[in-house]
Copies of this chain bind each other. A is one copy, B any other.
Amino acid sequence: MTVYAPPLKDLRFVLHNLIGLDRLAALPGFEHVEADLVDAVLDEAGKLLTDVWFPLNRTGDIEGSQLRDGTVVTPAGFKDAYEQMVQAGWLGIPFPTEYGGGNMPATIVTAVTEMANATNPSLAMAPALSQGALDALLEHGSEELKEIYVRRLMTGEWTGTMCLTEPQAGSDVGALTTKALPADDGSWRIQGTKIFISFGDHDLTENIIHLVLARTPDSPPGTKGISLFVVPKYLVEDDGSLGESNDVKTVSLEHKMGIKASPTAVLSFGEEGEGSVGYLVGEERMGMRYMFTMMNNARLAVGLSGVALGEIAYQNALAYSQERVQSRPIGAPEDAVTPIIGHADVRRMLMTMKAQVEAMRALTLENAFALDMARNHPDEETREQYRLYADLLTPVSKAWATDLGIEVTSMAIQVYGGLGYIEESGMPQFYRDARIGAIYEGTNGIQALDLIGRKLPAGGGAAIMGMVGNMKAIDGELAAAGDRFNSMRTLLADGVAALEQATGWLAMNGMQDPNQAAAGATPYLRMLGTVAGAYFLAKSALAASKLLEEGSPDKEFLEAKIDTARFYAEQLLPLGTALLGPVTAGKETLFAIDPDQMGH
């Protein structure tokens, strides 16, 4: 039996004190984003998710989605739980009002998405995939395509998928072979097999809109020859009603270690006839670029699953550690006993979980805020600056937060001890569910390569230099904030100096030999995430200190913010700083041994 309470207090703290709701509300189009509205959104979404989605999380894991007679059946209750979110209008909140959306800033949507991923990560994937499809259609689709598909994807009446992967084309999307042939009526005929298609089939909605990458005739090989198509499960008649089946067959479902309620399908397009009917999105051979539009929000959303599973795992571990009485505290009389939270090593685990969740939450919300600024700020230069910043943060949100999600859910198992290994405790599911985050939407290794290869050098390194500058800029405030901030200040300065040095090394050496930079990509991403986490927590602590000075009544919570930042700086940050060595050690030892000589 697991517990969950929406982390409203911490979400509000970040939104108000790290991001600044006023900065959001100052953006054209977001004038309605006032504190009361945001409070209502978080309250109501949190309540619905906790009441309706959360109770199905474990039953969904046990039952799983099943393929029966060619159709996917989701676990009992899922269809109703999905529909309740649709009915309440939650799925449309990220989208423009012109198509019936709620026009909520990404920052607020991110807070809601975190809660969805905590209460039911399998079910939370359905709207996340729709959002990817919608982003691509809104940005690149024709008015006709938008008219037919966007509204019903937006409300959640239909869902979307992203059909990229094929058996020979995983990380290497350019190796895909699915074919698209032009038809006389301007549409296309799609033939091929796609694998690992999340919510590729299900019974939540009447139609499913597949966004399919395929190769048109005479296209160049590799990613330059890829185009993006809309392929509905059922064709849509002119009056908007559903027509005949579009020859999209669910071949099989995968047996996964986690997120078992989320169906992962092998889909065969156009197996029986001339091909499934597809409609080109945007221009031919631009599919790879459009794919990144689909994936970018998805990457942040995957990162949120790390925050979310970390949060729920932490909540349960914290509750258990307060109930479970075991052993006497060190130094106490022989017959004394304590809830295990009284033991130093348990407290270390809990504080690590707490600090990491708060650091991840701050980073992902900052990432979302950067997206809002990049889209809505009136000044073009500012928009571009924030676009670079959001681009820089996205692979970190995705990879660092999912890696930490795995670590934090593992710690919850550890706090539970033997019980944590028993499925009924719920802890194994959090851990199993969290593990996919490091893999899909581009493995964390791919994220690290994206970070060092594309995001660091973009705009002449403006984003990373800006970020390092911001980190340095709080040094004076930390110095002035008193003794409790001393270790934070010193250790953050060490971390930022190491980050700067590592960044410089990658830039210098990567220019001469990209493999030198690639060799350090993964430790660099971890380092950036860890140092950024320390920075956001230090900022939180400064904000808390200021509120305390102003006489805020929320004394304990704000004091805890300062203590958490200090814990992070002393206990977790040094391992980020120490990655300077591994980042700059270069490729030599990685490649020294011939692959044939690597066995034991």
* Residue ranges of A at the interface with B (Cβ–Cβ < 8 Å): 5, 7, 9-10, 165, 168, 170-172, 175, 195-196, 221-222, 254-258, 311, 314-315, 318, 321-322, 325-327, 330-331, 334-335, 337, 339, 341, 343-351, 354, 357-358, 406, 410, 413-414, 417-418, 420-424, 428, 431-432, 435-436, 438-440, 443-445, 448-449, 487, 491, 513-515, 518-519, 521-523, 556-557, 559-560, 563-564, 566-567, 570-572, 574-575, 577-579, 581-582, 585, 587, 589-595, 597-600
Tell me, in angstroms, the Cα distance from A556 to B598 when the chains sit together: 9
Q: Which of B7, B556, B570, B592 contacts A563 (CB 8 A)?
A: B592
CB distance from A199 to the nearest CB of B (A): 15
Please name the residue on chain B nearest to A491 by beta carbon.
B581
12 cross-chain CB contacts under 8 A: A170-B326, A172-B327, A222-B335, A257-B432, A315-B599, A330-B518, A343-B518, A414-B438, A414-B439, A566-B589, A571-B581, A574-B581
Known: A255-B423, A413-B439, A414-B445. 17 other contacts (CB 8 A): A5-B599, A170-B418, A255-B424, A257-B423, A257-B432, A315-B600, A330-B514, A331-B513, A345-B519, A410-B435, A421-B435, A560-B593, A564-B593, A567-B592, A571-B582, A571-B585, A574-B579
Please tell me if the beta carbons of A348 and B165 are within 8 angstroms of each other in the complex: no
Please tell me if the beta carbons of A172 and B326 are within 8 angstroms of each other in the complex: yes
CB distance from A499 to the nearest CB of B (A): 15
Residues of B contacting A428 in the complex (Cβ-Cβ under 8 angstroms): 257
Please tell me if the beta carbons of B345 and A448 are within 8 angstroms of each other in the complex: yes
CB distance from A274 to the nearest CB of B (A): 30
Residues of B contacting A170 in the complex (Cβ-Cβ under 8 angstroms): 326, 417-418
Residues of B contacting A334 in the complex (Cβ-Cβ under 8 angstroms): 222
Tell me, in angstroms, the Cα distance from A232 to B236 when the chains sit together: 71
Tell me, in angstroms, the Cα distance from A431 to B556 when the chains sit together: 40
Interface of A is mostly: helix
Residues of B contacting A439 in the complex (Cβ-Cβ under 8 angstroms): 413-414, 417-418, 420-421
* Given A257-B423, A331-B515, A414 and B444 contact (CB-CB distance below 8 Å): yes
Please tell me if the beta carbons of A567 and B589 are within 8 angstroms of each other in the complex: yes
Please tell me if the beta carbons of B330 and A521 are within 8 angstroms of each other in the complex: no
Tell me, in angstroms, the Cα distance from A214 to B578 when the chains sit together: 49
Please tell me if the beta carbons of B599 and A318 are within 8 angstroms of each other in the complex: yes
* Given A343-B518, A348-B519, A592-B566, A417 and B560 contact (CB-CB distance below 8 Å): no
CB distance from A74 to the nearest CB of B (A): 19
Tell me, in angstroms, the Cα distance from A418 to B417 when the chains sit together: 29
Residues of B contacting A325 in the complex (Cβ-Cβ under 8 angstroms): 168
Please tell me if the beta carbons of A326 and B421 are within 8 angstroms of each other in the complex: no
Which one of A327, A331, A406, A444 has the greatest number of beta carbons of chain B within 10 Å?
A327
Please name the residue on chain B nearest to A427 by beta carbon.
B257
* Given A413-B439, A519-B348, A599-B315, A172 and B421 contact (CB-CB distance below 8 Å): no
Q: Which of B221, B255, B515, B559 contacts A344 (CB 8 A)?
A: B515
Residues of B contacting A422 in the complex (Cβ-Cβ under 8 angstroms): 254-257
* Given A322-B595, A594-B556, A599-B318, A345 and B566 contact (CB-CB distance below 8 Å): no
Tell me, in angstroms, the Cα distance from A185 to B321 when the chains sit together: 45
* Given A318-B598, A424-B255, A578-B574, A348 and B556 contact (CB-CB distance below 8 Å): no
Residues of B contacting A582 in the complex (Cβ-Cβ under 8 angstroms): 570-572, 574-575
CB distance from A544 to the nearest CB of B (A): 12
Please name the residue on chain B nearest to A566 by beta carbon.
B589
Please name the residue on chain B nearest to A440 by beta carbon.
B418
Please tell me if the beta carbons of A590 and B347 are within 8 angstroms of each other in the complex: yes
Tell me, in angstroms, the Cα distance from A346 to B563 when the chains sit together: 38
Tell me, in angstroms, the Cα distance from A229 to B560 when the chains sit together: 49
Please tell me if the beta carbons of B344 and A171 are within 8 angstroms of each other in the complex: no
Tell me, in angstroms, the Cα distance from A327 to B331 when the chains sit together: 59
Closest 6 CB pairs of A and B: A578-B578, A7-B600, A257-B428, A563-B592, A10-B600, A344-B518
